[in-house]
Amino acid sequence: MNTEKLEFHTGMNYPSLFSPLQIGPYQLKHRLALAPLTRMRAEKPSLAPRPLNAEYYAQRATPGGLLIAEASPVMATGYGSPGVPGIYTEQQIAGWRKVVDAVHAKGGVIFLQLWHVGRVSHSSFQPGGVLPVAPSAVTIPPDLKTGTADGKAVTYETPRALETSEIPDVVDAYRQAAKNALAAGFDGVEIHGANGYLIEQFLQSHTNLRTDQYGGGIENRTRFLMEVTQAVIEVWGASRVGLRLSPYGIANGSGEPDPMPLYSHVVQSLNPLGLAYLHFIEPRSSGAGRAEVNHQNVPSAMVLFRPIWKGVLITAGGFTGETANAAIAAGHADAIAFGRIFISNPDLPRRLQRGFPLTPYNRATFYGGDVAGYTDYPAHDELAQA
Distance CA 147, CA 268 (A): 37
198 compared with 291, residue with greater pLDDT? 198
Instruction: Compute how many other C-beta atoms are within 10 angstroms of the C-beta atom of residue 337.
Output: 26
Q: Are 32 and 65 in contact (CB under 8 A)?
A: yes
Q: How confident is the model at residue 284 (pLDDT cuts 50, 70, 90)?
A: low
- Contact of 230 with 173, CB cutoff 8 Å: no
Quick check: helix, strand or coil at residue 192? strand
Residue 169 is given by DSSP the state H
Q: Residue 287's pLDDT is what?
A: 45
Q: Where are the beta strands (DSSP E) in 29-132?
A: 32-34, 66-73, 109-115
Give me the pLDDT at residue 269, please: 98
| Mean pLDDT value of segment 216-228 | 98
Nearest to 317 by CA among 292, 285, 295, 345: 285
pLDDT above 70 coverage of the chain, percent: 91
pLDDT of residue 283: 80
Dihedral sign, Cα of residue 330, residue 335, residue 339, residue 340? positive
Question: CA 234 to CA 228: how far, in whole Å?
Answer: 10
Q: What is the pLDDT of residues 31-50, one digit of tens each?
A: 999 999 999 999 999 999 99
For 191-220, what is the mean pLDDT? 98
* DSSP secondary structure string for all residues of 84-113: ---SSSHHHHHHHHHHHHHHHHTT-EEEEE
Number of domains in the chain: 1
Question: pLDDT tens digits, residue range 146-177?
Answer: 999 999 999 999 999 999 999 999 999 999 99
Q: What is the pLDDT of residue 299?
A: 77
Cα–Cα distance measured from residue 283 to residue 377, given in angstroms and rounded to the nearest whole number: 28
| Number of other residues whose CB lies within 10 A of the CB of residue 63 | 12
CB 216 within 8 A of CB 203: no
Q: What is the pLDDT of residues 294-333, one digit of tens each?
A: 445 667 899 999 999 999 999 999 999 999 999 999 999 9
Q: How far apart, in Å, are the Cα atoms of 85 and each of 31, 58, 326? A: 26, 17, 35
The pTM (predicted TM-score) of the whole model is: 0.93
- Determine the pLDDT at residue 384: 55
CA torsion 285-42-60-70 (nearest 10°) is 40
Give just the sign of the alpha carbon dihedral 81, 86, 92, 98: positive
Alpha-carbon distance 172 to 21, whole Å? Answer: 32
Residue 134's pLDDT is 98
* List of E strands, 74-196: 109-115, 133-134, 145-147, 153-155, 160-161, 188-192
**Annotated catalytic residue within 56, 57, 197, 214:** 197
Short-list 185, 161, 21, CA closest to 103: 185
pLDDT of residue 381: 73
Mean pLDDT of the chain: 92
CB 148 within 8 A of CB 127: no
- pLDDT bin (cut points 50, 70, 90) of residue 378 is very high
Compute the distance between CA of residue 329 and CA of residue 32 in angstroms, rounded to an integer. 13
Residue range 95-110, pLDDT digits in tens: 999 999 999 999 999 9
pLDDT over threshold 90, residue 5? no
| Confidence check: pLDDT of 349 > 70 | yes
Confidence at 291, pLDDT banded by 50, 70, 90:
very low
Which residues are CB-neighbours of 339 under 8 A, at least 6 positions away?
34, 35, 37, 289, 316
110-126 mean pLDDT: 98
pLDDT for res 293: 43
Distance CA 354, CA 345 (A): 13
- In this prediction, residue 298 carries a pLDDT of 67
Q: Which domain holds residue 244?
A: 4-385
User: 214 an active-site residue?
Assistant: no
Question: Per-residue confidence at 13, pLDDT binned at 50, 70, 90?
Answer: low
Torsion angle defined by CA atoms of residues 177, 80, 69 and 24, in that order, rounded to the nearest 10 degrees: -50
State the average pLDDT over residues 59-70. 98
Q: What is the DSSP string of 281-315?
A: EPGGG-STTSS----SS---HHHHHTTT--S-EEE
Beta bridge partners of 245: 280
pLDDT at residue 9 is higher than 70:
no
CATH code of the domain containing 168: 3.20.20.70
Main-chain phi, psi angles of 158, to 5 degrees:
-75, 120
